[in-house]
Amino acid sequence: MLLVQSPTRYFVSSEGSRIVTSRPLVRVLALGSTLAADGMELARSETFDASSFDQLPADDVITTKIDKIVEDLKQLKKAPAVEPFTGPALLSGRAAAVFFHEVVGHRLEGQRQRGENEGQTFTKKIDQPVLPSFLSVEDDPTVARLAGIELSGTYEYDEEGQRSRRTELISNGVLKQFLMSRMPVKGFAQSNGHGRAQAGLMPVGRQGNLIVRSSKAVPDSELRQKLIDEIKKQNKPYGLYFEDIAGGFTLTLRNMPQAFQIMPLMVWKVYPDGRPDELVRGVDIIGTPLTVLNRIILTGQKVDVFNGECGAESGSIPVSASAPAMLFSEVEVQKMAQGHERPPVLPPPGFDRTETASKPNPTPEAR
Give the residue-averaged pLDDT of 337-357. 67
pLDDT tens digits, 75-130: 999 999 989 999 999 999 999 999 999 999 999 999 999 877 777 888 999 999 99
Answer for the pair 309, 316: CB distance below 8 angstroms, yes or no. yes
Distance between CA atoms of residues 80 and 101, nearest Å = 29
DSSP secondary structure letters along 208-237: SEEEEEESSB--GGGHHHHHHHHHHHHT-S
Average pLDDT, the chain: 89
Find out whether 14 and 313 touch, Cβ atoms under 8 Å: no
Per-position b or e across 295-324, b if 16+ CB within 10 A of its CB: bbbbbbeebbbbbbebebebbebbbbbbbb
Phi/psi for 106 (5° steps) reads: -65, -30
Q: What pLDDT was estimated at residue 104?
A: 94
Extents of the domains making up the chain: 1-78, 81-335
For residue 37, what are the contacts with CB-CB under 8 A and spacing of at least 6? Answer: 77, 342, 343
Alpha-carbon distance values, 136 to 168, 216, 235 (Å): 8, 11, 31
Please state, in angstroms and rounded to a whole number, the distance separating the CA atoms of residues 320 and 316.
13
Please state the pTM of the whole predicted model: 0.88
Q: Mention every residue, 6+ apart, whose C-beta is less than 8 A from residue 351.
A: none
Helix or strand or coil: residue 90?
strand
Per residue in 249-283, pLDDT tens?
A: 777 776 676 788 888 989 999 999 989 999 999 89
Distance CA 361, CA 123 (A): 78
Alpha-carbon distance 277 to 250, whole Å? Answer: 30
Considering only CA atoms, which of 23, 24, 27, 25 is closest in space to residue 2?
Answer: 27
Mean pLDDT of 183-205: 93
Phi, psi of 329 (to 5 degrees): -70, -25
Where would I find the H helices in 192-309? 223-234, 289-292
* C-alpha–C-alpha distance, residues 311 and 102, integer Å: 11
Determine contact, residues 150/50, Cβ cutoff 8 Å.
Answer: yes
Q: Once rounded to an integer, what is the mean pLDDT over residues 151-173?
A: 95
pLDDT at 363: 47
For the chain, give the number of residues.
367
> At residue 196, does pLDDT exceed 50?
yes
CA 324 to chain centre: 13
pLDDT tens-place string over residues 119-148: 788 899 999 999 999 999 999 999 999 988
